Amino acid sequence: MAGKKQFDIATALDAAMIQFWRAGYADTSVDDLSRATGLNRSSIYSSLGDKDTLFLRCLERYSTRYGEKYDAALSGAADRPLAAARAFFDVTLERIADPGLPDGCLVAQTVMATPVLSAAVAARAREAIGFQHTRLRDALKAGRLDDEAADSYAAHLAAVNQSLAVLSRAGTSTEQLRAVVDAALGALAQSLGARD
C-alpha cells in the first residue's frame, strides 16, 4: 500500500530476539526493541504484539531454531549414542562461538529471570528447558540405556549444556568449555561401555 512502510516480520523478530538475548527480558524496553528492529512503537504493537507477546514469539523462534539443530544432532543416537551426545554439545558450542550472536542462551537466561516474568513467559521458558531434557532422554533410551539411566544422564547433560551458556557469559574460554563437555561425555561413555 502506498504510504505504508513495509518490513520483513522474520527480520524484525530476529532483531528483537537478539535484543532480548543480549539484555534479557526485564532490561529490554519497548524503546530498545524499537531501536533494534527499526520499527516505531505503534508498529511493534500492531505487528508484533505487546512486550510479552513479542518475547514469547522470540522465545519460540529461538527454541525452534536450536531445537531442530539439537534433534538433528541426536538423530543418530540409536547407533552411536556417544557421538550423538557430542554432536548435541557441538550445537551449543558452535552457537557460543558465533561472533554474531550474544553469549549464553536465551532460554537459560529467561529461566533464571523467572521471578520478574509473567506467568505465561515463565511457563514457556520452563517448558523449553524441559524439552531439552526430554530430547536427551529419548535419544539415550534409543541408545539402549535403561529408563532410569537415560533419565539421570539426560538431566545431567541438560544441566551441563545450560552451564556452558552461563560459563560463556562469564568469559570462559572455548577450551575450558570443551573440557567441561569432555568430562560429561566421559561419564556417559562409561555407562555406555564406550561402544561408540
Residue for cell digits 535484543?
19
C-alpha dihedral (108, 92, 178, 78), degrees to nearest 10 = 110
What is the reported pTM?
Answer: 0.88
Q: What is the pLDDT of residue 3?
A: 44
pLDDT for the residue 1:
43
In Å, how far are 50, 61, 92, 156 from 87, measured between CA atoms? 37, 21, 9, 16
pLDDT of residue 28: 95
Kindly list the averaged pLDDT for each block of 10 residues, start to end, along the chain of length 196.
64 96 94 95 92 95 95 96 97 94 91 90 92 96 94 96 93 95 95 66
- Cβ count within 10 A of residue 66: 18
CA distances from 196 to 78, 85, 88, 97, 193 (A): 10, 11, 15, 26, 8
* CA separation for the pair 140, 78 (Å, rounded): 8
- Beta strand residue intervals within 26-172, DSSP E: none
Q: What is the pLDDT of residue 100?
A: 92
pLDDT of residue 6: 61
Q: Using the structure block, give the residue that is written with the C-alpha cell 527480520.
A: 11
